[in-house]
Amino acid sequence: MNGNRKRKQKKEKMFDQWKRERDEAVASLDVEKFKAFCLKWQEKGAYAKKPLPPDNIVEISMYKMACEITTIPEDIALKAAKWLVERGYIAGIDWNAKEDEQKEEHAE
């Protein structure tokens, strides 16, 4: 049991570190910093070892994450939302988008 407890504690500590670093990278709204975070954790096995999408997709994703992660400061979340809307995107993540697309396909 003691070995299991230590493994669990190690995983929890690693997850806490990942969340802190994620929040820092996202809150920076700096694409290069966010990409470095992704690549670092990809090496640690947290992500599949696949190439990152193009920078513009990474940037949009980072801004959408800034709107959704509750531990991101409100002023940064608002700045991210404004950035997205100014470029014609929905602020945050539209969790119903896929469901809406499927409903439209079935209606036709």
- Average of per-residue pLDDT across 12-16: 91
pLDDT at residue 62 in the model: 97
| 11-33 CB burial, b ≥16 within 10 A, e <16 | eeeeeeeeeeebbebbbebebeb
Q: Is the pLDDT of residue 86 over 90?
A: yes
Question: Do the Cβ atoms of 62 and 79 come closer than 8 Å?
Answer: no
What residues does each domain of the chain span?
2-107
Helix (H) or strand (E) holding 39: helix 31-43
- Average of per-residue pLDDT across 6-34: 94
pLDDT at residue 104 in the model: 55
Provide the whole-model pTM: 0.79
pLDDT at residue 49 in the model: 80
